[in-house]
């Protein structure tokens, strides 16, 4: 379960990265898809307000190797490690991860809560039980669980 | 034995293990369940039942979950 507290962090996507998540989720239906979010990870406990937001500049798709991909996702450890190394080699940070819920729900499931491991990283979910919805939750650890984040999209239009 | 654990994306920690400890024991000593993390050697996971044979290892926290709320055995 997650607690719906006052938003404490913001996960901003470039338009290209946001659309890449939704496109990947749609292509994968009815199976769940997954991937890694790269960019600059915010430090919400920092006194520097500019450091409180995370920016996702790339959404890197990975294979879903779960035995039941319609309702489960799992990133192969070797691929996960290779993607993390690649992100860091490009001078970026691992901001978090994304996966899809083709039939909902538009929030972390009990399974998502039980399996979360990367503390202070974002877990974004694209739900397709209607128009695509992308939400994100920051994992605070086993005791505190998920904190809902504000999801923002950085427009690439000069007049926006 | 003392083992330095490099948690990928999560800093380092020192673990003290009994002689004959396995990598599954190491994962638990580092604060994780063997189902939620893997020790990597040359980028590949090592079996949890293998005795620890290094004084510095890399630990990868796994990324998994899914929309189904029921926590049965999963692949």
State the catalytic residues of A.
32
> What is the rounded CA–CA span in Å between residue B50 and residue A95?
32
Torsions phi, psi of B12, nearest 5? -110, 155
Per the structure, the count of domains in chain B is 1
Token pair listed for A88: 């860091």
Identify the contact set of chain A against chain B, taking CB-CB distances under 8 A.
32, 34, 36, 65-68, 71-75, 77-78, 80-82, 84, 94, 97, 99, 101-105, 108-112, 114-119, 121, 123
> Which CATH number do you get for residue A137?
3.40.140.10
> What is the rounded CA–CA span in Å between residue A154 and residue A119?
25
**So what's the pLDDT on residue B74?**
47
Contact with chain A for residue B71, Cβ under 8 A: yes
B55 lies in some domain: yes
Low-confidence stretches of chain B (pLDDT < 70) are 71-75
Using one digit for the tens of pLDDT, what is the confidence trace for A14-65?
Answer: 999 999 999 999 999 999 999 999 999 987 665 555 557 999 999 999 999 9
B69 lies in some domain: no
**A134: domain range?**
10-44+52-153
Mean pLDDT of all residues belonging to chain A: 91
**B39: domain range?**
2-61
B73 lies in some domain: no
A2 lies in some domain: no
Per the structure, the count of domains in chain A is 1
Q: What ipTM, to 2 d.p.?
A: 0.90
């Amino acid at each position: 379960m997650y607690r719906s507290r006052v938003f404490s962090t913001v996960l901003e996507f470039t338009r290209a990265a946001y659309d890449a998540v939704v496109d990947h989720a749609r292509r994968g239906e009815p199976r769940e898809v997954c991937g890694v979010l790269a960019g600059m990870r915010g430090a919400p406990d920092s006194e520097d307000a500019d450091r409180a937001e995370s920016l996702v500049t790339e959404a890197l798709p990975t294979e879903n190797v779960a035995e039941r991909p319609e309702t489960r996702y799992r990133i192969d450890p070797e691929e996960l490690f290779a993607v993390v190394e690649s992100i860091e080699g490009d001078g970026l940070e691992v901001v978090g991860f994304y996966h899809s819920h083709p039939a909902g729900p538009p929030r972390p499931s009990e399974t998502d809560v039980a399996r979360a491991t990367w503390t202070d990283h974002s877990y974004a979910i694209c739900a397709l039980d209607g128009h695509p919805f992308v939400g994100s939750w920051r994992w605070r650890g086993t005791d505190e669980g998920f904190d809902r984040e504000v999801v923002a999209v950085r427009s690439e239009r000069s007049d926006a | 034995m003392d083992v330095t654990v490099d948690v990928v994306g999560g800093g380092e920690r020192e673990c003290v293990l009994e002689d004959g400890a396995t990598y599954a024991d190491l994962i638990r000593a580092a604060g994780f369940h063997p189902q939620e993390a893997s020790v990597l050697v040359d980028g590949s996971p090592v079996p949890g039942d293998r005795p620890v044979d290094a004084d510095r290892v890399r630990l990868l926290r796994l990324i998994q979950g899914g929309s189904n709320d029921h926590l049965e055995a999963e692949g």
